[in-house]
Amino acid sequence: MKQYLAGIKSYQLDLGIDCKAFYDPRLERTIKGIKRDHDEPNRRERTPLTRPLLLQILLCITPTSYENLVIRAAFTLAFAGFLRVGEFTYKEADRELGPSFSKWYLTKGSIRLHHSGAFMELNLPSSKTDPFRKGIKLTIAACHDSGCPVRAMKAFLAIDTHRPKHAPLFCHGQLAQQAFTREHVVQKLQELAITAGLGRGSWSGHSFRRGAATWAAEIGITENEIQTLGRWRSDAYKAYIEYTRKEQLSLSKRFQGTSKHPTIQPRIACL
């Protein structure tokens, strides 16, 4: 509801109409009342693709075909760059933008591999946190193992010499060059997860970004650093971090382990 109201407010601002009504406290109380009378919507479960799971999936993607090299490069880039699925996919209709395509979506020119092989730079022309499309530059380090995004991108670009720099970064099929859609990515992820023995799960386009945040927290990267890596401006990233039952049990034990500490008198007496 707030999103709809924000849209109406934005439209009125564009028309020069007064927007004082949107700041009326009665409107805020009305929204709170509606929330109390209506249950929270069921949130669709999304399985996080952490790095160990990603490496397991990559074992099923042999770099022997163009299609496999595309998927390998896309999956490793999406994970290492904390990418939203909409930041590395596009629809067939988006190609009709012509020269303006590069202002909205990734092209081959968006990638710059450093000559040392130590890292690569990714220029995101547009993203959720960059509404004015000023562009965001990400530096992604090489990790020199089977999940290395730099190595995967280098192998892909080495075979993708038939397409120009202004072409979309990824495409489906070396000859057909079909759009690299969200649906295609999710379908491949689901198929590969089953092949890798990870089960059907609830794999989705959010699995990459959610998995990256979960893995970062698991290996001890601080909250501020996770926020920086994922380009979050708010604490919304916390909703992406998930804990296993074992981790939750460990936290519960730590929380309740008061017997190892001296008795502490409460600051507020019970009434």
**Distance between CA atoms of residues 271 and 41, nearest Å:** 38
* Same-domain pairing of 26 and 133: no
Q: Is 232 domain-assigned?
A: no
Domain boundary among 215, 235, 262: 215
Q: Is 260 domain-assigned?
A: no
CATH number, position 160:
1.10.443.10
* Same-domain pairing of 59 and 182: yes
Furthest C-alpha separation in the chain? 77
* Same-domain pairing of 73 and 145: yes
Beta bridge partners of 137: 123
Domain that holds residue 63: 51-215
Helical axes 182-195 vs 66-80, angle rounded to 10°: 100
* Same-domain pairing of 95 and 184: yes
Query: What is the b/e burial string over 12-46, where b = at least 16 CB atoms within 10 angstroms of the residue's CB?
Result: eeeeeeeeeeeeeeeeeeeeeeeeeeeeeeeeeeb
Amino acid 174: pLDDT: 93
* Same-domain pairing of 115 and 88: yes
CB 107 within 8 Å of CB 94: no
Q: Which DSSP string corresponds to 9-65?
A: HHHHHHHT---GGGG-HHHHHHHHHHHHHSPPPPPPP-----HHHHHHHHTT--TTS
Closest CA to 105 of 82, 87, 131: 87
Amino acid 253: pLDDT: 61
Dihedral sign from CA coordinates of 191, 193, 199, 205 = negative
* Same-domain pairing of 82 and 126: yes
* Same-domain pairing of 15 and 92: no
pLDDT digits (tens), the chain, 271 positions: 666 777 787 777 767 787 778 778 887 778 777 777 766 555 556 789 999 999 999 999 998 999 999 999 999 999 999 999 999 999 999 999 999 999 999 999 999 999 999 999 999 998 877 777 788 899 999 998 999 999 999 999 999 999 999 999 999 999 999 999 999 999 999 999 999 999 888 899 999 999 999 998 888 888 888 888 888 877 766 766 666 667 666 655 665 564 444 444 433 333 3
* Same-domain pairing of 33 and 55: no
Please state the length of the chain: 271
Q: Is 133 domain-assigned?
A: yes
**Distance between CA atoms of residues 206 and 68, nearest Å:** 21
**Distance between CA atoms of residues 92 and 173, nearest Å:** 13
**Distance between CA atoms of residues 259 and 165, nearest Å:** 64
Q: Is 142 domain-assigned?
A: yes
* Same-domain pairing of 192 and 97: yes
Q: Is 257 domain-assigned?
A: no
Q: Is 84 domain-assigned?
A: yes
* Same-domain pairing of 181 and 64: yes
* Same-domain pairing of 16 and 66: no
* Same-domain pairing of 30 and 123: no
Closest CA to 52 of 192, 150, 146, 190: 146
Amino acid 33: pLDDT: 77
Q: Is 236 domain-assigned?
A: no
Number of domains the chain is built from: 2
- Return the residue matching tokens 């519960």: 252
Q: Is 141 domain-assigned?
A: yes
